Chain A
Amino acid sequence: MNFNPAIPIYMQIMDMIKRDIVTGALARGERIDSVRALSEKFGVNLNTMQRACSELERQNVINTQRGVGSFVTEDAQTIANLKEEMSNGMISEFLQGMQNLGYNKQEILEIIRKADEL
């Protein structure tokens, strides 16, 4: 697994799990692997994985049932919010990049329209 070493790793793992939930690779209500199995999968230590999971839990993205396991949320609204949050992030990054290249909003819209026609 390749991580950006300058960004907290637990955050990068959270993003990967969220992306899997939004794309459906992890289904609603699906049981997720144990923290130990996940830490092995991501190649990080247990504490990092534990932190990622407890943050996801705090954000209600996953729910843990004591003694049973952790599950992806069933709540469609939470998942829709995740999707929006993710797309907002991508768009603001894109806009920032385009503005750095010197395009104004009008030009950016034009470029997107052109790209769409292809």
Chain B
Amino acid sequence: MSNILTVKGLTKPFYGNPVLEELDFSIESGRVVGLMGPNGAGKTTLIKTIMQLYRADKGEITILGKEAGTATKGLLSYMPDTNPLISWMRISDALQYYGDMFPDFDKERAGELCESLRLDTGKKVTALSKGTVKRVLIMLALSRKAALYLLDEPFAGIDPLGTNQIIKTILTGVREDASVLIATHQVKNIETIVDDLLFLNNGRLVLSDSSENVREFRGKSVEECYLEVFSHA
């Protein structure tokens, strides 16, 4: 299997404080990866650094063998944890905007996702509930034909029904050779859908393993493993 993303020795300080320190990991093609850790662990910083929204001070990020930069931006589809949509837009405008912005945006796919996520495209984005905004952002992110989807806290503030819809969309909405990186501290939600785990604490990687290995060789659920790792961290 080929690597979609390789990170080597990645370090990113803010005002002299290292937020990410010497991170080494890779993501293979076709995997769903859970990036987990408590608040302030560095999850969002890592995603933003991969997205080149932050510049790494040290280390390398390679995407499909190419050094991360302007040329690799098109390979990544990013769902931020804040609402980036412009306030005058309706959902239909957001669709148009994404379609103009990204050549790999699949309008047909977007239509299907709007239907399965029950999104009314005539609604203004400022009139949406928190959960609906998340569903819109998921829909927009997964409508692109990217190599790697970076989802930052897709379940924050979502009710169980919405969570299930989002999980189902992630499971069915991604091509087999693409990978998904989900940053979350809600471990239970993604227990059954992640292939690999990356546990991040204070900017360092404290565990990197497949979730089936955790279950098979440690006899633990991902959540138990999370609690074990982070209560001693």
Q: A residues within 8 Å of B by Cβ?
A: 1, 3, 5-10, 39-40, 43-48, 51
Interface residues in B, total, Cβ within 8 A: 22
Name B residues whose Cβ lies closer than 8 Å to a Cβ of A.
Answer: 30-32, 167-168, 171-172, 176, 191-195, 212, 215-216, 219-224
Judge whether A9 and B192 touch: CB under 8 Å: yes
User: Is B191's CB under 8 angstroms from A5's CB?
Assistant: yes
Q: Are B32 and A6 touching (Cβ within 8 A)?
A: no
Whether B31 contacts A43 by the Cβ 8 Å rule is: no
Contact A45 B171 (CB under 8 A): yes
Are A5 and B30 within 8 A (Cβ)?
no
Q: With a CB–CB cut-off of 8 A, which chain A residues contact B31?
A: 47
**What is the chain B residue whose CB lies nearest that of A35?**
B176
On whether A5 and B223 interact (CB within 8 A), knowing A39-B171, A43-B168, A45-B32, the answer reads yes
Chain A residues in 8 Å Cβ range of B195: 45, 47-48
Tell me whether B172 and A6 are in contact (CB under 8 A): no
Chain B nearest Cβ from A42, distance in angstroms: 9
Residues of A within 8 A of B191 (CB): 3, 5
Q: Is the CB of A47 within 8 A of B30?
A: yes
Question: Quick check: B220 and A6 within 8 Å, CB to CB?
Answer: yes
Q: Which residues of B contact A3 (CB under 8 A)?
A: 191-192
Task: Please tell me if the beta carbons of A5 and B167 are within 8 angstroms of each other in the complex.
Answer: no
Across the interface, which residues of A come within 8 angstroms of B223, CB to CB? Answer: 5
Inter-chain contacts of B168 with A (CB < 8 A): 40, 43
**B residues less than 8 Å from A9 (CB atoms):** 192, 212, 215
